[in-house]
Chains A and B, each alone.
Chain A
Amino acid sequence: MQIVKREGTSVKQVIIIRLIAIMAAIVVSGIFIVFLGYNPVQVYSNIISGALGSKIRLKATLLEMCPLVITSLGILVAFKMKFWNIGGEGQILMGAFAATYVALFVDWLPKPLVLPVMFIVGFLTGGLWGVIPAFFKARFGANETIMTLMLNYIATQWVTYLQYGPWRDPSLKGFAKIANFPDYALLPKLFGIHIGFYISLALVAIITWFLRKTKRGFEIAVVGESVSTARYAGMDISRIIIATMLLSGGLCGITGVIQAAGVNKTLTMNVSSGYGFTAVITTYLSGLSAPRVLVVSFLFAILLQGGSYIQSALQIPQAAADVLQGMILFCALGSEFFVRYKIRFNRKNSVSSEVK
């Protein structure tokens, strides 16, 4: 057996390999489901119908898709630069924290300005949370994966502190919860879905344009490809790393604003609820392409929404969906190999025919 690098894999081949990977994921997950004592066909059909079966469920799926899309875009710009930002959770929480401050405690703003200001401070605070590791990476080469992750835990403690401490709503006796936003600080709805969803679609277009057409977007790709090339080209690498992470964390911060003002109506741990990590998967599976983020996020939203549906319909715990996610990712990661390489089985006659 011999492993050979593929010379330019055709689009058709890539699609076939990806389809095989999806099949493999379905089969492996199916084995897991059988192991749990359920019928995989029944579980899969429940996931699909739970996510797409009715207008209300489809809306719920689109609402689930929105934070995934925006967070993935944030992670994507960092990953393009080979900056392993897994601090999405913390950046989401900090964005939501800043927006909550504006929604609840800034009373001198004219009401129509409250929401826009929430978005701006949410972006900046989430971005700042991303700039901290970026600064130490740019200045000293400190490992960003662990830095961003530690900042997640710190953000979590910070929000818990606010919830149980100074921001606790005193009118709710014995229940530690931050007060709900006033109406003017909630996202308006359009066709029954809050406008965050439409913002996410617009952001896909903007980020696609930004990465493909602008000088700044090009710089990110160059730094990601090779730092030495970028340096040779005279780019200010530190500035690019820090600016990119301001954008990356800022996009995650916007997710926090949207989840707080559109779904939770206040600041809770649920505004992040794993989106920062799931987005790492969706981003990777999209092959770092912003338009494809949309497709992958939709598929994952089906999995998440369907996953919570099977919880009530078939009493399968939500955590099972996390396990499935892990398995799907393993299959996708494995399939990457077959995109880049092919295995040649050396039988005697094939060798001799090649020699000729």
Chain B
Amino acid sequence: MIPFLKNAIIAGTPLTFGILGAMYNEKAGNLNLGIEGMMLLGAVAGFQVALLTMNPVLALLAAMVFGALGALIYAFLTVTLRANQSVTGLALTIFGTGLSRFWGKRLMGTVLPESFSRNFRPLSLPFLSKIPVLGPILSVFLEQDLFVYLSYVIVILSGIYLYHTRFGLNLRAVGENTAAADASGINVTLYKYVHILIGGALCGLGGAYLSLVYVPSWQDNITSGRGWIAIALVIFTSWNPYRAFWGAFLFGGLDIVGFRIQTLNLPITINQHFLRMLPYLATMLVIIIGAVRKSSSHMPPKDLGNPYFREER
């Protein structure tokens, strides 16, 4: 059970980044369907820079920059030029998928050398194994690689930022009621740009986790729909960074159930292709449940998806 849960955290980490990325977009009132595209841009850029420099910090920076560049295109089109958010997001996914496939063509099948992977070996705290009962449970969370620890840090920082700082409060005001936020002197355009870019950078990191640590080699469409699952999980985890973490954990578990179930010697064998449908089926279920239980504490930002024009107020 413990190894399973550990792997669930690992499989959930790209989702954690993706959900947070989508969440920052949506907190600013923008429904960005380009998450998958930005994750792929980050995945390929991180992989390329890792190969060229063998430097994990530079690889992560590259992933963030390319995720954010994708977000910049989206922000320019939707915020400044007021283009349709859904279609722009789709275009970004098509663009990101195409560019990552094109760029990754020469990287196909390349495996990152051991000297690089060493940077992302699981690290454990030495006293952890000595604690009875609690030790193994804690080891699920605290015997992980640096990247996973980074996701914890970002989850906590996001929580503090959103709920305990003035900037976070302002951001939520922009998403909830753009016109009122504008009237109260908040620079709406700036807030939207900054948080769409932060979201893009986080998506880039999520993609890089796949290409640098999880797989770790290049393959076409390495995200295989995780960006879309992330968009669904934002709804499921109701725009809350802490719940985002647990949602990703849950879906990470679901992701590896497919691999594990065949080794369990069950009386009935379930075909692997049906098992691979599980995360997608679960995502649909999440969407439906989310739509059915429309309680007030689980509602999206009120101005989500609405383009904002000061002139038309």
Binding between chains A and B = yes
Chain B nearest CB, measured from A275 CB (Å): 13
Q: Known interface pairs A143-B235, A165-B271. Does A84 touch B94 (Cβ–Cβ under 8 Å)?
A: no
Judge whether B291 and A319 touch: CB under 8 Å: no
Judge whether B277 and A319 touch: CB under 8 Å: no
Q: Known interface pairs A160-B273, A337-B82. Does A329 touch B98 (Cβ–Cβ under 8 Å)?
A: no
Chain A nearest CB, measured from B311 CB (Å): 6
Q: Is B33 an interface residue (CB 8 A)?
A: yes
Q: Is A149 an interface residue (CB 8 A)?
A: yes
Chain A nearest CB, measured from B103 CB (Å): 8
Within 8 A of A (CB), among B70-100: 73, 76-77, 81-84, 86-88, 90-92, 94-99
Chain B interface size band reads 35 or more
Across the two chains, which residue of chain A brings its CB closest to B105?
A317
Judge whether B91 and A157 touch: CB under 8 Å: no
Across the two chains, which residue of chain A brings its CB closest to B281?
A154
Contacts of A289 in B (CB 8 A): none
Chain A nearest CB, measured from B48 CB (Å): 15
Judge whether B228 and A317 touch: CB under 8 Å: no
Judge whether B232 and A146 touch: CB under 8 Å: yes
Docked Cα-Cα span, A140 to B291, in Å, equals 6
Docked Cα-Cα span, A212 to B33, in Å, equals 31
Q: Known interface pairs A4-B311, A143-B287, A146-B228. Does A326 touch B86 (Cβ–Cβ under 8 Å)?
A: no
Within 8 A of B (CB), among A316-336: 317, 319-327, 329-330, 333-334, 336
| Candidates B81, B90, B283; contact of A336 at CB < 8 Å | B81
Of A141, A149, A151, A317, the most chain B CB neighbours within 10 A belong to A149
Q: Is B127 an interface residue (CB 8 A)?
A: no
Which of A44-52, A116-124, A276-284 faces chain B?
Answer: A276-284
Within 8 A of B (CB), among A19-49: none
Interface of A, helix, strand, loop or mixed by DSSP = helix
Q: Is A209 an interface residue (CB 8 A)?
A: no
Q: Is B114 an interface residue (CB 8 A)?
A: no
Count of A interface residues, CB-CB < 8 Å: 46
Interface 0/1 of B252-282, CB less than 8 Å to A: 0000000000000000000101101100110
| Candidates A150, A319, A337; contact of B98 at CB < 8 Å | A319
Contacts of B273 in A (CB 8 A): 157-158, 160-161, 164-165
Judge whether B81 and A337 touch: CB under 8 Å: yes
Judge whether B86 and A333 touch: CB under 8 Å: no
Contacts of A329 in B (CB 8 A): 87, 91, 94-95
Docked Cα-Cα span, A281 to B90, in Å, equals 9
Q: Is B109 an interface residue (CB 8 A)?
A: no
| Candidates B81, B101, B281, B287; contact of A334 at CB < 8 Å | B81
Q: Is A239 an interface residue (CB 8 A)?
A: no
Q: Is A142 an interface residue (CB 8 A)?
A: yes
Docked Cα-Cα span, A327 to B70, in Å, equals 12
List 13 extra interface pairs beyond A142-B291, A326-B98, A333-B83, CB under 8 A: A147-B287, A149-B228, A150-B232, A150-B287, A161-B271, A280-B90, A319-B98, A323-B102, A325-B98, A330-B95, A333-B81, A333-B87, A336-B83
A-B contact pairs, 28 of them (CB 8 A): A86-B90, A140-B292, A142-B288, A142-B291, A145-B33, A145-B86, A149-B228, A150-B280, A151-B284, A153-B224, A153-B225, A154-B280, A157-B276, A158-B277, A165-B271, A277-B94, A281-B90, A284-B87, A317-B102, A319-B98, A322-B97, A323-B98, A326-B95, A329-B95, A333-B81, A333-B83, A334-B81, A337-B81
9 closest A-B pairs by beta carbon, nearest first, are A326-B95, A322-B98, A319-B102, A161-B273, A337-B81, A142-B291, A140-B291, A319-B101, A329-B91
Chain B residues proximal to chain A, CB less than 8 Å: 33, 73, 76-77, 81-84, 86-88, 90-92, 94-99, 101-102, 105, 224-225, 228, 231-232, 235, 271, 273-274, 276-277, 280-281, 283-284, 287-288, 290-292, 294, 311-312
